[in-house]
Amino acid sequence: MADTVAPKITPVNLENAVKNRLFRIRVADEASGISSWRGTIDGQWVLFTYDIHTGYLQYVFDNKRLPRGQSHHLSLTVADACGNARTWQHSFDY
């Protein structure tokens, strides 16, 4: 049977992300596994690290790239090994 289902994206503790200066997002794919991910804030690439053992992607706020006192838009696209992709988006004030 072919893998036609995109990975699941589940934000963790989203209500405290700005206070903690950290986005943690659980990603999972039941069939072929996570193959790639790409995160942007305000259209600019940002580094998300992936822990293969826990299935968490993490972004630590970078004050050089993320000006304070503004509204921002986060977009995260995650793909599995068969090319199925899902995008999660979130707007936040920092």
Instruction: Report the pLDDT averaged over residues 5-11.
Output: 97
Mean pLDDT of 42-71: 95
* Residue 1 scores a pLDDT above 80: no
> What's the whole-model pTM score?
0.93
DSSP 35-84: EEEEEEETTEEE--EEETTTTEEEEE--TTTS-SSSEEEEEEEEEETTS-
Residue with tokens 């804030």: 41
Q: For residue 36, what are the contacts with CB-CB under 8 A and spacing of at least 6?
A: 78, 79
All domains of the chain in start order, with CATH: 8-93 (2.60.40.1220)
